Amino acid sequence: MGIEILLGVLALVLLYAGSAVKVVKQYERGVVFRFGRLQEKTRGPGLTAIVPVVDRMRKVNLQIVTMPVPAQEGITRDNVTVRVDAVVYFKVEDAARAIVNVEDYLFAVGQVAQTSLRSIIGKSDLDDLLSNRERLNQGLELMIDNPALGWGVHIDRVEIKDVSLPESMKRSIARQAEAERERRSRIIAADGEFQASRKLADAASVMADKPAALQLRLLETVVEVAAEKNSTLVLPFPVELLQFVDHLKPGDGVPAQAVPKEGQEEKLPAPRDEEPVPSWTTTPAD
């Protein structure tokens, strides 16, 4: 009988000791309540002892929590309907406040993130959502971090994941981008033509001052064409030579007998098949 009592007492002692000793992991902190009152000292990692029945300890994870924010649908400032989802990275800095000041800090952070995301959609333009996400991420982080500071939670960063647009808006953006690329290509082509025309005008002025440059260019063109091993060689005929022949006057290197004088008819040579009639031939008498 005495041995059974001793064993029972030993079991109670072991149960008491087991309920009094707690293990706190490295990434956790223990918040102790004694008769419902918060103890100032937060238990660190390792073995820690509490008073059974009197004390209750809650463990709080201090690791960074990755919380996806469900896609929120809203209307931007330029009246475009979009769906935006994001990711919030946060961690608990004060374990006591995270337990005492808010009922469920995970749920609270999630709700604040959703409302802040809808608010940032309504304050932004579509172009900002598509191209200026860094500034929007910073604004969204500040909006979530302000109420979270009172809960002992620090928002590490917020990232907008995706922006879903209606199909009609996607087609409009594609047409706008295509028109912009077409405009740039035309401007570049026109600029190239302008620069080429200026260079050609400069080359023409140089060749006009020095005609030998035109002959050299002609020879280079002939060499380039001949290098292609073509059977036909085309030589350009300068227009200036035709103008020179057209404006040629008598006495400029042409024999004088070849040019008839004024008032004098040009004598044509007699045909070879006909014999010229002699001037001494007389008409026979009756």
pTM attached to this predicted model: 0.60
Q: What is the pLDDT of residues 136-192, one digit of tens each?
A: 899 899 999 989 988 999 999 999 988 888 888 888 888 988 999 999 999 999 999
Give pLDDT, residue 256.
45
Q: Report helix, strand or coil for 175.
A: helix
Which one has a higher pLDDT value, 279 or 20? 20
Q: What's the CA gap between 155 and 266, in Å, rounded?
A: 111
pLDDT of residue 92: 93
CA dist 248 and 258 (Å) reads 14
Report the distance separating Cα 152 and Cα 154, nearest Å.
7
**In DSSP terms, which residues pair with 47 in a beta bridge?**
23
- Catalogue all structural domains in the chain, each as residue range(s) with its CATH number: 13-60 (no CATH), 65-169 (3.30.479.30)
Percent of the chain at pLDDT > 90 equals 31
pLDDT tens string 24-79? 899 999 999 988 898 888 888 888 888 888 888 899 999 999 999 999 998 988 88
Could you give the percent of the chain with pLDDT greater than 70? 77
DSSP 3-state assignment of 8? helix
Per-residue confidence at 215, pLDDT binned at 50, 70, 90?
confident
φ and ψ at residue 117, rounded to 5 degrees: -65, -40
**Res. 87 pLDDT band, cuts 50 70 90:** very high
